[in-house]
Structure 1
Amino acid sequence: MRALLLCISFIVIWTNTVFATEIAEHKAIRLEKVEVDQYALNQIDPLFIDENKLHQLVDDLKKKIYKAPKNATIAKSGNIILEKPGITIDEDQFYIQFKKTFYDDKADGFHIPVEKVYPRVDKALLEDIRTKELGNYVTFYKKGNEERSHNIALAAEAIDNHVVFPGEMFSFNKVVGERTKSRGYKRAPVIVKGELSEDIGGGICQVSSTLFNAVDLKGIQIVERYAHSRSVPYVPPGRDATVSWWGPDFSFKNMYNEPVLIRAHASNGKMLVRITSSDTVENFTGS
């Protein structure tokens, strides 16, 4: 037990040290007094700041400094991979320090202030919303079709660990993204206008259809769903959800009072989607 506690303490200290190093690296960005003075509104009065130019500077610094936070996720083993904060410019402090430097002739400049960006999903939330299963659905496919199997697994991985908060919309196309060769998708059979064809990303409709059947719950409002132009073998008639990047999407809204977690996995010819939430979850019926 003592060894375990020492190990956990080391991980926490190491994580904080790594993040502190990243903060220090970004704080090293510095604006000198001569650079700050260039934002004077000289054509009107050098005592005024060109606010439009200053706002553009802040936008540029955001792009340079911003590092997105990483949500906590559940590994295949069931262990939770901890969240990681991101970094962005501290705008309030930036404007304060900029104006102090601008109006103080003795100032020599300042380091760009930064702050943490916290992820929406942390370990505590995941532990809470994985406790109660609301629904699940399983479909099957021929694992011998390697290209199609690959696409299904890739799309399943994209929706796995996704959290939909109360009142939020889930869009399959937005979450999974465009299915392209550069993103790892392969050519496989698809249905186009009732005819079988081949295209990049063929097979992912099985993922969206499995998801649809798993989230067809009292507390989920199906917003957008389209059926294929012909029957598909992996779900009963009328229970499919076709998707296409330039065409139909599958989307739904979380009407529960708690976030819902999507767990999805595809391997060895089996596609599984589970929907879980907190023990206190209930359908929101208020106005």
Structure 2
Amino acid sequence: MRMIVLLLFLFLIFPHISHASVMELYDEQNDSWLIDLKPYIFEMDEALLNWNDIEDLTKYMQKQVYQKPENAYIAKNGEIVKEKPGLALDVNQFHTLINEFYYSGADNRRLHVPKQKIPARVNEELLKEIKEKELNRFTTRFRKGNIERTRNIELAADAINNTVIFPGEHFSFNEVVGERTRERGYLPAPVIVKGEFSEDIGGGICQVSSTLFNAVDLQGIEITERYAHSREVPYVPKGRDATVSWWGPDFAFRNKFNQPVLIQARTIGGEMTVAIYTSNDATLFQAKKP
């Protein structure tokens, strides 16, 4: 009885295998993890593998192996930087290898973890094609001597730069730029709150969203969400602004072309410019006849 109680106690304390303890071997030369299968064998029946634990191991390995793909992008000098594929665990092959390796009776029960490439969403060829035709561009100006506001504008412009919106796809400024925090480099600068000037982290990014709005406000782009400031702003004509804030107003639109649309955003000196591009073959979606 005491033995049963002790086993239950140990099971509660150590319900899962420590994957880190069985994955200490990494083959740097072949860029491969090595897995020891011994901890995944049922102690009461060595002819069986414990697939519940192996499923846990699989989830752990997915996190270890995963590398996010990097899209191709256009550098500041105008050259296209080639995409880089990502990596993911080949789950089916991983499980197949475990079965084959274990049931083959091999004494050495260590195996290389199989990987598969994840293609980048935007590759070099696509960028070359959708950079052919400029649809529109818009420029606004700011005082570069205001270091905090300039910094915020630069960060937000960099965030939307090289964004590709595929046909029918929806763009959200807040989703693309992300939360404006000190940790991400944003600084306190003047903002408009309920018609009054105040200071908050990320002040100035509304100039980026407003510049973007004026650049994409054209045939083929459907504006789905836009809000005006509670008072006029000096960097765009009256009624041509688009205010944004985290947990608040967003600026959003949808691509109605049959080809992807590319956003290029630049800050040079005291100017911020957004240019919109697509392919020479781009046309508007045709409504289906009833």
TM-score by length of 2: 0.84
2:99 counterpart residue number: 99
In structure 2, the CA distance between the partners of 1:35 and 1:178, relative to structure 1 (3 Å rule), is same
2:36 counterpart residue number: 32
Once the 2 structures are TM-superposed, how far is the Cα of residue 255 of structure 1 from its aligned partner?
1.3
Q: Determine which structure has more spread, i.e. the larger CA radius of gyration.
A: 2
1:84 counterpart residue number: 84
Residue identity opposite 2:38 in structure 1: V
In structure 2, the CA distance between the partners of 1:101 and 1:148, relative to structure 1 (3 Å rule), is same
Q: Deviations over 1:164-188 (max 9, x none)?
A: 1112111111111111111111111
Distance across 1 between alignment mates of 2:30 and 2:276: 40
Q: Deviations over 1:89-113 (max 9, x none)?
A: 1112112112223444336232110
2:24 counterpart residue number: none
For the residue of structure 1 that corresponds to 2:222, the secondary structure is: strand
Q: Which moved more, 1:106-115 or 1:72-81?
A: 106-115
Once the 2 structures are TM-superposed, how far is the Cα of residue 66 of structure 1 from its aligned partner?
0.9
Q: Deviations over 1:221-249 (max 9, x none)?
A: 11211111111111122211111112111
Distance across 1 between alignment mates of 2:29 and 2:283: 41
Distance across 2 between alignment mates of 1:105 and 1:36: 15
> Would you say the 8 A contact 2:174–2:246 is kept in 1?
yes
Once the 2 structures are TM-superposed, how far is the Cα of residue 52 of structure 1 from its aligned partner?
4.6
Matched, 1:176 2:177: yes
Q: Which runs of 5+ in 2 are unaligned?
A: 1-26
Work out the number of aligned pairs and report it.
Answer: 261
Q: Deviations over 1:243-267 (max 9, x none)?
A: 1112111111111111110000112
1:59 counterpart residue number: 59
For the residue of structure 1 that corresponds to 2:35, the secondary structure is: strand
> Would you say the 8 A contact 1:72–1:121 is kept in 2?
yes
1:219 counterpart residue number: 220
- RMSD value over aligned CA atoms? 2.1
In structure 2, the CA distance between the partners of 1:285 and 1:65, relative to structure 1 (3 Å rule), is same
Matched, 1:263 2:264: yes
For the residue of structure 2 that corresponds to 1:24, the secondary structure is: coil
Q: Which runs of 5+ in 1 are unaligned?
A: 1-20
Q: Matched residues, percent identical?
A: 52
For the residue of structure 2 that corresponds to 1:62, the secondary structure is: helix
Distance across 2 between alignment mates of 1:52 and 1:250: 46
Once the 2 structures are TM-superposed, how far is the Cα of residue 51 of structure 1 from its aligned partner?
4.7
1:13 counterpart residue number: none
Matches within 5 A, 1:15-164: 24-25=30-31, 27=32, 29-37=33-41, 51-106=51-106, 108-164=109-165
Deviating beyond 6 angstroms after TM superposition, the runs of 4 or more aligned structure 1 residues are 45-48
Distance across 1 between alignment mates of 2:225 and 2:48: 52
Distance across 2 between alignment mates of 1:135 and 1:49: 61
In structure 2, the CA distance between the partners of 1:224 and 1:51, relative to structure 1 (3 Å rule), is farther
Distance across 1 between alignment mates of 2:52 and 2:276: 47
For the residue of structure 2 that corresponds to 1:196, the secondary structure is: strand
> Would you say the 8 A contact 2:86–2:118 is kept in 1?
yes
Once the 2 structures are TM-superposed, how far is the Cα of residue 211 of structure 1 from its aligned partner?
0.5
Once the 2 structures are TM-superposed, how far is the Cα of residue 163 of structure 1 from its aligned partner?
0.7
> Would you say the 8 A contact 1:23–1:87 is kept in 2?
no
Distance across 2 between alignment mates of 1:264 and 1:233: 20
Q: Deviations over 1:27-54 (max 9, x none)?
A: 2x1122303425x9x7xx8766555543
1:232 counterpart residue number: 233
In structure 2, the CA distance between the partners of 1:90 and 1:210, relative to structure 1 (3 Å rule), is same
Distance across 2 between alignment mates of 1:254 and 1:47: 57
Distance across 2 between alignment mates of 1:116 and 1:212: 36
More helix by share: 1
Residue identity opposite 2:110 in structure 1: G
Residue identity opposite 2:93 in structure 1: Q
Once the 2 structures are TM-superposed, how far is the Cα of residue 156 of structure 1 from its aligned partner?
0.4
